[in-house]
Amino acid sequence: MADFTAKDVMRLREQTGAGMMDCKRALVDADGDFEKAGELLRERGIAKAAKRASKIAAEGIVYALVKDGCGVLVEVNCESDFVAKGDKFHEVVDVVAKAILASRPADVTALLDCTVDGSKTVGTYISEQVGIIGEKISVRRFTVYDTDGFVETYIHMGGTMGVMLDFGCPANDVTKTLAHDVALHTAFSKPAYLSADEVSAETLEKERAILLQEVLNEGKPEAIASRIVDGKIKKFYEENCLLEQKFVKDDKVTVKQLIAAASKEAGVPVTLKRFVFYVMGQGIEKKSEDLSEEVAKQVEAMKK
């Protein structure tokens, strides 16, 4: 067995920023040679990945994969739009999506421990790709739908947004056309809930309190304020619940009515069981620097 101590592992970790297990593995492979272990970490892209860990990965893509009645929607981030559009990054995202499909991990942490190619973990694979691509890569979130019907997905503008729908019915020409239309509608309307039943009592209570205060501030009498709020709550459902929304291609029908019509035409019960959509980078704070400040930093760095 290679001759090294726990202090050697810690020292290598401090020097490279790599994980404890990666450092230990490198020392084992290098027969305890500290310098060679550092070189191995660099070759494997792990040291480089660790150095980029503090970078902000606010670009990337949303990607969908469907196979054998299972659908995956995943968001993977990188640092620049240039890399996000590249074939190599898309290859990485595809490998990650296939690992999710194969292992059905509970969350991102569990995903990183799943294997790819039957040997390395997803975490190690991503670290290696960071070394090759030269940017931080991180899996932000994913959703898996196993269904007894069919899954419909829609990816907008090369991955800026993704939608996944779970339909509880057989796939045929009618239901597939319906599913595509509803996916496009979801991407456009961005509903918060599937139906009114999903709105929690707490959310509804808060919304009602806000609306009541708005009505009173408008000078409406208290005697009719409650009825006005009831109407506004109905409008809240119509704006935020997918099934209650006016269909984007025909505002004379709701999505619920559209599904009912398709069910009649297809001759089978059509139900939309659930949906999810991701907007790439939503909520991630992007680093923004003034150009003059950036130039000043580079000049200052050159003087050192």
Separation of alpha carbons 289 and 78, rounded Å: 18
In this structure, the strands spanning 115-116 and 120-121 are antiparallel
pLDDT the model gives residue 297: 53
pLDDT the model gives residue 295: 47
For 51, the token pair is 């150095």
pLDDT the model gives residue 17: 65
Separation of alpha carbons 137 and 77, rounded Å: 6
For 103, the token pair is 């292992």
CATH numeric code, 54-146: 3.30.479.20
* Fold agreement (6-51, 54-146): no
DSSP one-letter string for 77-117: EES-HHHHTSHHHHHHHHHHHHHHHHH--SSHHHHHTSEET
Separation of alpha carbons 96 and 143, rounded Å: 13
For 58, the token pair is 């606010």
pLDDT the model gives residue 228: 94
Per-residue H/E/C for 202-251: HHHHHHHHHHHHHHHHCCCCHHHHHHHHHHHHHHHHHHHEHHHCEECCEE
pLDDT in tens, the chain (304 residues): 567 888 888 888 777 767 778 888 889 999 888 888 887 877 776 665 666 666 767 899 999 999 999 999 999 999 999 999 999 999 999 999 999 999 999 999 999 999 998 888 999 999 989 988 889 999 999 999 999 999 999 999 999 999 999 999 999 999 999 999 999 999 999 999 999 999 999 999 999 999 999 999 989 888 899 899 999 999 999 999 999 999 999 999 999 999 999 999 999 999 999 999 999 998 886 655 454 555 455 445 545 4
Q: Select from 46, 110, 49 the least CA-distant residue to 79.
A: 49
Identify whether the C-beta of residue 272 lies closer than 8 Å to the C-beta of residue 163.
Answer: no
pLDDT the model gives residue 118: 80
Q: Which long-range contacts (CB under 8 A, 24 or more apart) does 108-114 make?
A: 108/139, 108/140, 108/141, 108/142, 111/139, 111/142, 112/139
pLDDT the model gives residue 86: 95
Name the residue type at position 229: V
pLDDT the model gives residue 52: 64
* Architecture of the domain delimited by 6-51: Orthogonal Bundle (1.10)
For 91, the token pair is 């290859």
Helix (H) or strand (E) holding 35: helix 34-43
- The tally of CA atoms less than 13 A away on the side-chain side of residue 258 is 26
Q: Domain spans of the chain?
A: 6-51, 54-146
